[in-house]
């Protein structure tokens, strides 16, 4: 018989609130059963992507069901706008800045454990961006390892993305693991999954349903002992694959006045919500709901840079930006904490919290102390959960020191203190000085009105906090790039190319082989594409057009098109057909292969149907 109570009595709630943290005893005076912990982590689920947070398009009845049982956080943040750093912050209780793990690099084959700052960066970058770890080192004492030592059964189901073996979850304190590996997203959402070591299910089985089945087995096998269960969904990360019937069910519901318009994402969120519901049902059926602390949160904001059927997968409106962006849409996320009898049902809080807080909060709730050598940046949220305090911190930080062409993100860091948020953009101002944006989020949640120039004293006050934070965490901090060269007409000349603008033309002087022009701003779009340009030249050799994608961020020969050039000093128009295997994030034109002079009147990027996506010419940057 399940011991779950959907609506605890007032006496239950008040008694539980008084003892939420430590030293729980049963009515007979004996030590009470240690509570279970279930941590549900959605992938790329935005702040506005559930009904509980205001979505009028997505249907999430089970997340609503969970919210009614516990406390909803309106100012919860992922520690980073991308997944691997946030996941590392959950397991360590530390800022990604301190971990030096600041990009989603856990799937990369190269093992980097001790990143060092380079002396300079690419010529088109104003700032030198730091490298990042690609693994969560084994010497960190993870949440799973601490709970395992306290007698907990531990399991990890779903996405990991913190390193391939020997840096997988089975090496970081988890007894049971499925599917394993360090995939950034599932190769497929439907069986056959094509994931090493993860047997396929029946054809067409959804991976969320499979993960619930595995988690249910674990719950039933451990119902008589305390357990810690990571339920880290792949949903709703790319690839964008929804159940066909759900996609068609949501298609007629699209309202062009609603910024959330993607039927595929609606289908994916429905599948994710269904999995959450099945997990709650499994806890109920095992009779352990009343003994289980459940936390639901996302690893970063919703994806606003990919395209599905010509539109973005979701919208984070009214927030600005999304995944891989320093703005609110990148890091503000949904968060719910439920614990029957301990956290009052149906409550809400404006407390400023982060994924770095989960580890210390869980330890405190279970009556456990951290190891002597464990250092937390996060804080215990117990006073907020008990409604004894409205907040536990004064300020929160996020360092994201990277260029992300897909979102036009610049190396930056923010601090939020009260209603105020200051963003420092490294080396992005005049003469490569730092540039600042200041917002009052209570009045301007969309970060539209930059108050930095109007409030210099507030900028200085908050920037001092940033400086102290970067020093305290010993972060790798971007600095002005000594190799930076200013763009001309939207392009940067590198290798042997010197660019100038004169007489309404872009002049390219090549002093040697393979002069290169790199575009400063490229529309992130899928192919096939057509790149055309009008040029006259006295150089020599063929031209080559390269492209980059998120999966392949460097320019390589196998992602390029070669074009024969007539170097007779007369005007000619040239065309390169580009067939990228994903949305492009960068373009490079090598207009010749030798020394000489060239003039370019214009360059254009179009789709296969001829629709103009971007034009570059002097006067248009």
pLDDT in tens, 26-84: 444 555 779 999 999 999 999 999 999 999 999 999 999 999 999 999 999 999 999 99
**Cα separation of 274 and 541, whole Å?**
59
pLDDT at 230: 98
Side-chain-facing half-sphere of 144: CA atoms under 13 Å: 26
300, pLDDT greater than 70 = yes
Query: Strand locations in 271-362, DSSP E?
Result: 292-298, 332-338, 347-354
453: pLDDT strictly greater than 80: yes
Mean pLDDT of 228-237: 98
pLDDT at 10: 32
Domain 491-616: give its CATH superfamily. Answer: Galactose-binding domain-like (2.60.120.260)
Pairwise pLDDT comparison (33 vs 8), residue with the higher score: 33
pLDDT of residue 485: 82
Angle, CA 171 vertex, CA 170 and CA 175 arms, to 5°: 35
Provide the pLDDT for residue 123. 80
Q: For 566-600, b where at least 16 C-beta lie within 10 A, e where not — what string?
A: ebeeeeeebebebebebbbbbbbbbbbbbbbebbb
The CATH superfamily assigned to 10-21+46-96+136-389 is Alkaline Phosphatase, subunit A (3.40.720.10)
| CA angle, 117 then 86 then 101, to 5° | 15
Measured in degrees and rounded to the nearest 5, phi and psi for residue 552 equal -130, 85
Tokens 């880290």 locate to 232
Both tokens of 360, joined, read: 């210390």
Give the C-alpha distances (Å, rounded to integers) separating 584 from 105, 323, 553, 554, 620. 19, 17, 9, 11, 21
- Look over the chain and give the mean of its residue pLDDT values, rounded to a whole number: 92
618-to-161, 506, 521, 535, 537 alpha-carbon distances in Å = 44, 6, 15, 13, 18
Three-class SS state of 280: helix
Is the distance from CB of 400 to CB of 413 less than 8 angstroms? yes
At residue 423, the pLDDT reads 98
Say what the pLDDT of residue 496 is.
Answer: 86
CA distance 474 to 481: 20
Strand partners, 541: none
Say which range, 14-18, 221-225, 514-518, has the weakest mean pLDDT. 14-18
* pLDDT at 4 exceeding the cut of 50: no
Predicted pLDDT of residue 23? 39
Res 12 pLDDT > 70: no
For residue 293, how many C-alpha atoms fall within 13 Å in the half-sphere facing its CB? 23
Averaged pLDDT, 517-533: 90
Distance, in Å, from the CA atom of 527 to the CA atom of 533, rounded to the nearest integer, reads: 18
10-21+46-96+136-389 and 410-480 have identical folds: no
Q: Report the alpha-carbon angle 440-411-302, nearest 5.
A: 65
Q: How many CB atoms lie within 10 A of CB 125?
A: 19
When pLDDT is averaged across residues 596-604 and rounded to a whole number, the result is 96
264-292 confidence digits (pLDDT tens): 999 999 999 999 999 999 999 999 999 99
* DSSP 8-state assignment for residue 427: T
The average pLDDT across 142-147 equals 98
- pLDDT for 550-594, tens place per residue? 778 778 888 999 999 999 999 999 999 999 988 898 999 999 999
Residue 589 CA to residue 571 CA, distance in Å, equals 17
Q: Looking at residues 593-599, what average pLDDT do you find?
A: 95
Tens of pLDDT along 151-208? 999 999 999 999 999 999 999 999 999 999 999 999 999 999 999 999 999 999 999 9
- Answer yes or no: is pLDDT of 3 > 80: no
pLDDT band of 620, cuts 50, 70, 90: low
User: pLDDT over 90 for what percent of the chain?
Assistant: 83
> Would you say 589 and 530 are in contact if contact means Cβ atoms under 8 Å apart?
no
Collapsing DSSP states into helix, strand and coil, what is residue 459? helix
Q: 530 or 17: whose pLDDT is higher? A: 530
Q: CATH assignment of 410-480, given 3.30.1120.10, 3.30.1330.10, 2.102.10.10, 3.20.20.70? A: 3.30.1120.10
| More confident site: 430 or 47 | 47
**Mean pLDDT calculated for residue range 313-328:** 97
Residues 100, 132: contact at Cβ < 8 Å? yes
In 439-530, which residue ranges form alpha helices assigned H by DSSP? 456-472
For 266-297, b where at least 16 C-beta lie within 10 A, e where not — what string?
bbbbbbbbbbbbbbbbbbbebebbbbbbbbbb
Domain residue limits, the chain: 10-21+46-96+136-389, 410-480, 491-616
pLDDT at 14: 31
| Cβ 535 vs Cβ 600: under 8 Å | yes
Determine the average pLDDT of the residues in 334-363: 97
């Amino acid at each position: 018989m399940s011991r779950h109570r959907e609506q605890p009595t007032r006496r239950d709630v008040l008694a539980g609130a008084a003892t939420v943290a430590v030293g729980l005893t049963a009515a007979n005076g004996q030590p009470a059963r240690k509570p279970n912990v279930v941590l549900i982590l959605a992938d790329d689920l935005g702040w506005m992507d559930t009904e509980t947070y205001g979505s009028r398009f997505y249907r999430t009845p089970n997340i609503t069901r969970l919210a009614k049982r516990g406390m909803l956080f309106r100012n919860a943040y992922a520690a980073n706008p991308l997944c691997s750093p946030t996941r590392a912050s959950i397991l360590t209780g530390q800022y990604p800045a301190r971990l030096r793990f600041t990009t989603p690099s856990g799937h990369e084959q190269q093992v980097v454990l001790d990143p060092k700052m380079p002396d300079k960066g690419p010529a088109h970058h104003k700032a030198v961006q730091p490298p990042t770890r690609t693994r969560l080192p084994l010497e960190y004492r993870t949440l799973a390892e601490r709970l395992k030592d306290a007698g907990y059964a531990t399991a990890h189901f779903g996405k990991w993305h913190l390193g391939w073996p020997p840096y997988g979850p089975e090496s970081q304190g988890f007894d049971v693991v499925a599917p394993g590996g360090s995939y950034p997203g599932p190769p497929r959402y439907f069986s056959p999954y094509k994931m090493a070591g993860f047997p396929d299910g029946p054809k067409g089985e959804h991976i969320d349903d499979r993960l619930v089945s595995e988690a249910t087995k674990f719950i039933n096998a451990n119902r008589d002992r305390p357990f810690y269960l990571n339920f880290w969904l792949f949903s709703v990360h790319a690839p964008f694959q929804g159940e066909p019937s759900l996609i068609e069910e949501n298609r007629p519901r699209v309202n062009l006045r609603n910024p959330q318009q993607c039927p595929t994402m609606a289908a994916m969120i429905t599948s994710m919500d269904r999995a959450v519901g099945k997990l709650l049902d499994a806890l109920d059926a095992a009779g352990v709901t009343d003994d289980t602390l459940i936390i639901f949160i996302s690893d970063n904001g919703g994806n606003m840079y990919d395209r599905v059927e010509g539109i973005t997968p979701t919208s984070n409106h009214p927030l600005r930006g999304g995944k891989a962006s320093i703005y609110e849409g990148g890091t503000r996320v949904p968060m719910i904490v439920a614990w029957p009898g301990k956290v009052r049902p149906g409550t809400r809080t404006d407390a400023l919290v982060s994924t770095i807080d989960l580890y210390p909060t869980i330890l405190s709730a279970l009556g456990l102390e951290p190891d002597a050598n464990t250092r937390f940046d996060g804080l215990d949220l117990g006073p907020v959960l008990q409604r004894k305090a409205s907040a536990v911190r004064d300020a929160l930080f996020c360092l994201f020191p990277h260029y992300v062409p897909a979102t036009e993100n610049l190396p930056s860091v923010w601090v939020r203190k009260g209603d105020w948020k200051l963003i420092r953009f490294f080396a992005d101002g005049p003469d490569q000085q730092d540039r600042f944006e200041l917002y009052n989020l209570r009045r301007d949640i969309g970060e539209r009105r930059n108050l930095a120039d109007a409030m210099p004293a507030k900028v200085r006050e908050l920037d001092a906090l940033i400086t102290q934070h970067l020093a305290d965490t010993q972060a790798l901090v971007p600095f002005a790039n000594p190799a930076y060269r200013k763009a001309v007409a939207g392009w940067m000349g590198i290798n042997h190319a010197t660019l100038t603008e004169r007489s309404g033309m872009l002049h390219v002087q090549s002093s040697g082989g393979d002069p290169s022009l790199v575009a400063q701003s490229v529309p992130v779009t899928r192919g096939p594409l057509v790149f055309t340009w009008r040029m006259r030249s006295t150089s020599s050799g063929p031209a080559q057009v390269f492209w980059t994608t998120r999966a392949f961020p460097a320019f390589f020969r196998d992602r390029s098109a070669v074009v024969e050039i007539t170097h007779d000093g007369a005007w000619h128009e040239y065309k390169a057909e580009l067939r990228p295997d994903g949305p492009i994030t960068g373009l490079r034109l090598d207009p010749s292969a030798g020394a000489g002079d060239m003039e370019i009147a214009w360059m254009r990027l179009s789709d296969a149907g001829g629709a103009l996506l971007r034009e570059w010419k002097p006067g248009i940057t």
